[in-house]
Amino acid sequence: MRRIRLVVAYDGTNYHGWQYQPNAVTIEEVLNKALTELLREPIAVIGASRTDAGVHARGNVAVFDTENRMAADKICLAVNQRLPEDIRVQSSGEVAPDWHPRKQRCVKTYEYKILNRRIEVPDKRLYTYHCYYDLDLEKMRRAASFIVGEHDFKSFCSAKTQVTDTVRTVYSLNVERDQEDVITIRITGSGFLYNMVRIIAGTLLWAGTGLIRPEEVAEILAAEDRRKAGPTAPAKGLTLIRMFYPDEMQEQAEKP
Amino acid sequence: MRRIRLVVAYDGTNYHGWQYQPNAVTIEEVLNKALTELLREPIAVIGASRTDAGVHARGNVAVFDTENRMAADKICLAVNQRLPEDIRVQSSGEVAPDWHPRKQRCVKTYEYKILNRRIEVPDKRLYTYHCYYDLDLEKMRRAASFIVGEHDFKSFCSAKTQVTDTVRTVYSLNVERDQEDVITIRITGSGFLYNMVRIIAGTLLWAGTGLIRPEEVAEILAAEDRRKAGPTAPAKGLTLIRMFYPDEMQEQAEKP
Segment A102-112, tens digit of pLDDT: 999 999 999 99
| Binding-site entries of B for substrate | 110
CA-derived radius of gyration, chain A:
19
Q: Which residues of B touch A85 (CB under 8 A)?
A: 120, 122, 125
Residue B4 has pLDDT above 80, yes or no: yes
DSSP B21: B
What is the rounded CA–CA span in Å between residue B237 and residue B32? Answer: 26
Count CB atoms within 10 A of the CB of residue A236.
20
Start-to-end CA span in chain A (Å) = 27
B15 contacts on A by Cβ (under 8 Å):
none
Distance in angstroms (rounded) separating the CA atoms of residues A84 and A88: 8
pLDDT of residue A159: 83
Handedness of CA A46, A48, A52, A53 (dihedral sign): negative
* Amino acid in position B76: C
Nearest to A88 among B90, B121, B239 (CB): B121
Strands A46-47 and A182-189: unpaired
- Indicate yes or no: CB of A9 within 8 angstroms of CB of B80: no
What pLDDT score was predicted for residue A255? 54
Region of A162 please: left (phi>0), alpha (psi -120 to 50) or beta: alpha
Integer Cα distance of B181 and B124 in angstroms: 10
A76 and B119: CB-CB below 8 Å? yes
Q: Distance (Å, rounded) from C-alpha B202 to C-alpha B156? A: 10
Residues of A in contact with B76 (CB under 8 A): 119
Shortest Cα distance, chain B CAs vs residue A135, angstroms:
19
Q: Which whole number is the average pLDDT over B69-86?
A: 97
pLDDT of residue B162: 81
CB-CB contact of B153 with A124 (8 Å) = no
SS3 letters across chain A? CEEEEEEEEECHHHCCCCCCECCECCHHHHHHHHHHHHHCCCCCCEECCCCCCCCEEEEEEEEEEECCCCCHHHHHHHHHCCCCCCEEEEEEEEECCCCCCCCCCCEEEEEEEEECCCCCCHHHCCCCEECCCCCCHHHHHHHHHHHCEEEECHHHCCCCCCCCCCEEEEEEEEEEECCCCEEEEEEEECCCCCCHHHHHHHHHHHHHHCCCCCCHHHHHHHHCCHHHCCCCCCHHHEEEEEEECHHHHHHHHHCC
Contacts of B235 in chain A (CB under 8 A): none
pLDDT at B249 over 70: no
Give the distance from CA B245 to its chain's centroid: 15
The rounded mean pLDDT for chain B is 95
CA–CA gap between residue B113 and residue A123 (Å, rounded): 13
d(CA A110, CA A189): 9
Per-residue model confidence (pLDDT) at position B247: 82
* Residue-level pLDDT at B160: 81
- For domain B107-243, the CATH architecture is 2-Layer Sandwich (3.30)
Q: Out of A77, A88, A119, whose CB is closest to B88? A: A119
Number of Cβ within a 10 Å radius of residue A104: 12
Contact B122 A56 (CB under 8 A): yes
What is the arithmetic mean of pLDDT over A4-23? Answer: 96
The type of residue at A234 is P
Q: Is A110 annotated as a binding residue?
A: yes
Residue A164 pLDDT: 87
CA–CA min distance A90, chain B (Å):
6
Helices A196-209 & A216-223 angle (0-180, nearest 10): 150
A122 vs B86, B119, B121: nearest CB: B86
Give the minimum alpha-carbon distance from A53 to chain B in angstroms, rounded to a whole number.
Answer: 16
- pLDDT tens-digit readout, A129-185: 999 999 999 999 999 999 999 999 999 999 887 888 999 999 999 999 999 999 999
Is the Cβ pair A125, B10 closer than 8 Å?
Answer: no
- pLDDT beyond 80 at B161: no
Give the relative orientation of helices A216-223 and A137-147 as an angle to the nearest 10 degrees. 30
pLDDT above 70 for B74: yes
- What's the whole-number mean pLDDT along residues B57-83? 97
- What CA–CA distances, in Å, run from B39 to A41, A148, B44, B71, B249? 60, 51, 12, 11, 29
User: What is the torsion angle, in degrees rounded to the nearest 10, for the CA atoms of residue B173, residue B176, residue B182 and residue B183?
Assistant: 40
Specify the pLDDT at position B250.
61
Q: Which CATH class is domain A107-244?
A: alpha beta
Indicate which of A119, A236, A240 best probes the interface with B, i.e. most B CBs within 10 Å of its own CB.
A119
Output the CA–CA distances (angstroms, integers) from residue B115 to A19, B52, B60, B128, B205, in the order listed.
29, 21, 24, 6, 12
**Is there a contact between B203 and B228 (Cβ–Cβ < 8 Å)?**
no
Neighbours of A250 (CB within 10 A): 10
Q: Which of B11, B52, B65, B98 is catalytic?
A: B52
φ, ψ of residue B107 to 5 degrees: the values are -100, 125
Specify the pLDDT at position B59: 97
Does B68 score more than 60 pLDDT? yes
- The pLDDT, as a whole number, for residue B195 is 96
How far apart, in whole angstroms, are the C-alpha atoms of residue A114 and residue A209?
13
Residue B256 reports pLDDT greater than 60: no
Test B80 with A126 for CB contact under 8 angstroms: no
Catalytic residue list contains A52: yes
* Subunit contact B88:A127, Cβ cutoff 8 A: no
* Ranges of each domain in chain A: 2-95, 107-244
Calculate what percentage of chain B has a pLDDT beyond 70.
Answer: 97
Q: Name the DSSP class of B24.
A: B
Contact A148, A171 (CB under 8 A): yes
Whole-number Å distance between alpha carbons of A182 and A193 = 25
Residue A205 pLDDT > 70:
yes
Between helix A137-147 and helix A196-209 the angle, nearest 10°, is 140
| Yes or no, beta carbons of B119 and A77 under 8 Å apart | yes
Dist CA B77 CA B55 (whole Å): 24
**Is it the case that residue A80 has pLDDT exceeding 80?**
yes
Say if residue A71 is exposed, middle or buried (CB neighbours under 10 Å; 0-12, 13-18, 19+): exposed
Cβ–Cβ below 8 Å for B126 and A121: no
A123 contacts on B by Cβ (under 8 Å)? 9, 11, 56, 126-127, 239
CATH code for the domain defined by A2-95: 3.30.70.580
Residues of A with CB under 8 A from a CB of B: 9-11, 56, 58, 76-77, 80, 85-91, 119-123, 125-127, 239
| pLDDT tens, residue by residue, B170-197 | 999 999 999 999 999 999 999 899 999 9
Question: Mind listing the pLDDT tens digit for each residue in B196-244?
Answer: 999 999 999 999 999 999 999 999 999 999 999 999 999 999 999 999 9
A11 contacts in chain B (CB < 8 Å): 122-123, 125
Subunit contact B121:A10, Cβ cutoff 8 A: no
- What are phi and psi for residue A5, nearest 5 degrees? -110, 135
Q: Are both A2-95 and A107-244 of the same fold?
A: yes
List the single residue in A with minimal CA-CA distance to B56. Answer: A123
Residue A74's pLDDT band (cuts 50, 70, 90): very high
- In tens, the pLDDT along A213-244 reads 999 999 999 999 999 999 999 999 999 999 99
Which pLDDT belongs to residue A229?
A: 97
